[in-house]
Structure 1
Amino acid sequence: MEGTEQLTKRQMKALQTRENLLKAGRAVFLENGFQKATMTQINKMAHTGYGTAYVYFRNKDELFVELMETIMQKMYEVADLPFRPKTKEEAFSQIQKQTQLFLKAALEEKAIMQIVKEAIGASEIVSEKWNNIRTRFINGITTDIDFVQKTGLARPDLDASLIAKGWFYMNEQLMWDLVLEEVDGDFEKVAVNLVKLYTGGLYQ
């Protein structure tokens, strides 16, 4: 753990306990699903004292939200890739790469992402967290669209924030379809089709 050199033994132990609870939580959620998982099960798997989990997390929803942040890191890294294309071809290539990486990251965490989908429908806290994640992605996409509009690569008559929402929602829906195995698992094919549709309407 970075930045732990100045921590006391007690603080180090607390950090380790938290990590143990998160690790145990992931295992319990994967085994039982979100709705059937309990804090008692998580506490037991983490080998912590009775009720210790509640010292760190008010409930399983709060623990799961922290797990989600960890899971989403790889997707955030994709979203944060620099986007400064100089040509339409360069833009298409970068968007296709980002889309493929986004879908690939979700599929690499397919089992836990299936639990995320369940939890979004079962927990107001998790649903709110997912909406915050959506907003982060949409804001990033809006910035990218603003850039290509200002450089003359994209149509200036379109509302960047509306297009960003539509683009993310398309990616999100097909991500869930792939994760839940409701469409063919070829994420590269999915990405190519998505990007052709998106760029065909946005770019001049």
Structure 2
Amino acid sequence: MANSRQQQAIETKNRLLKAAELVFLEHGFQNTTIRLINNKAETGHGTAYVYFKNKEDFLIKIMEDTMEQFTKIASIPFHPATSNEAYELVSNQVKLFLSLAIKKKELMKVFKEAIGVSKEVEARWQDIRDQFTASITKDIMYAQEYKLADSSLSPSLVARLWFYTNEMFMWEVIHESPSNDIEDIIKHMTTIYMKGLYSNPQQ
């Protein structure tokens, strides 16, 4: 009986999450209410509060699930033997990152809105940033260890600079058509990054 109740609880929570995503997409973050989510999920009044504290709690869970897909890109194995291999790997990661942002752009717009008005969502976004920069830092340290990258540079600082560059263009491509072609953006971002960090990019 307990297993049956647990399964029902999981199904209800998932139904609420799916409903919340639809409501956020339709109404935006600020205009979304728990009542709208309950109505969309066709659950009883107050059911949402059994599983989530507020609408921020809903959005954070959706944001975490969505950004997990981005995290998989950042976690692609990075073990280049040459600067040229590093260039190809970095370029591919940027392409996958921006392409996924475009694919998820309507949801990303909701995240951006929420980050701007909710301290709770903003704090969780900063945690996600930290996860990305930690992953990038490891890649830079690998490149420095194998004499591909400039060892005089701080891996963590370079990682932050690199992620913020990616983030800036991510917000740009989801809100409007960028002034440059995506492939052109990728080329310029990767080349500048490589020339700044790596000893002999594309050599």
Does residue 31 in structure 1 map to residue 20 in structure 2? no
Consecutive unaligned residues in structure 1, runs of 5 or more: 1-6
Deviations 1:140-161 (A, max 9, x none): 1011000100100001111111
Mapped to 2, the partners of 1:163 and 1:170 lie a distance apart of 11
Mapped to 1, the partners of 2:165 and 2:107 lie a distance apart of 21
Deviates more, 1:184-193 or 1:101-110: 184-193
Percent sequence identity is 42
Deviations 1:19-74 (A, max 9, x none): 00000000000110000000000001000011100000000000100000111121
Does residue 153 in structure 1 map to residue 155 in structure 2? no
Residue type at the aligned position of 1:152: K
Partner of 1:3: none
Could you say which structure has the greater relative contact order, defined with CA pairs below 8 angstroms and 6 or more residues apart?
Answer: 2
Mapped to 1, the partners of 2:73 and 2:180 lie a distance apart of 20
Q: Is the 8 A contact 1:137 1:168 kept in 2?
A: yes
Partner of 1:177: 172
Task: Give how far 1:131 is off.
Answer: 0.2
Mapped to 1, the partners of 2:24 and 2:104 lie a distance apart of 13
Mapped to 2, the partners of 1:17 and 1:189 lie a distance apart of 45
Alignment length, in residue pairs?
Answer: 199
**Among 40, 51, 56, the residue aligned to 2:51:** 56
Query: TM-score scaled to structure 2, two decimals?
Result: 0.95
User: Which runs of 4 or more aligned residues in structure 1 lie more than 4 Å from their structure 2 counterparts after TM superposition?
Assistant: none
Mapped to 2, the partners of 1:157 and 1:185 lie a distance apart of 33
Residue type at the aligned position of 1:39: I
Does residue 119 in structure 1 map to residue 151 in structure 2? no
Measured on the aligned residues, the alpha-carbon RMSD in Å equals 1.3
Task: Give how far 1:186 is off.
Answer: 3.5
Deviations 1:64-110 (A, max 9, x none): 00000111121011011000000000000000000100111111100
Does residue 162 in structure 1 map to residue 157 in structure 2? yes
**Among 120, 124, 128, the residue aligned to 1:129:** 124
Deviates more, 1:181-190 or 1:11-20: 181-190
Query: TM-score scaled to structure 1, two decimals?
Result: 0.95
Task: Give how far 1:9 is off.
Answer: 1.1
Deviations 1:107-164 (A, max 9, x none): 1100000010000001111101100000000001011000100100001111111111
Partner of 1:141: 136
Mapped to 1, the partners of 2:139 and 2:21 lie a distance apart of 34
Mapped to 1, the partners of 2:25 and 2:196 lie a distance apart of 40
Mapped to 2, the partners of 1:94 and 1:143 lie a distance apart of 14
Mapped to 2, the partners of 1:112 and 1:185 lie a distance apart of 23
Residue type at the aligned position of 2:39: K
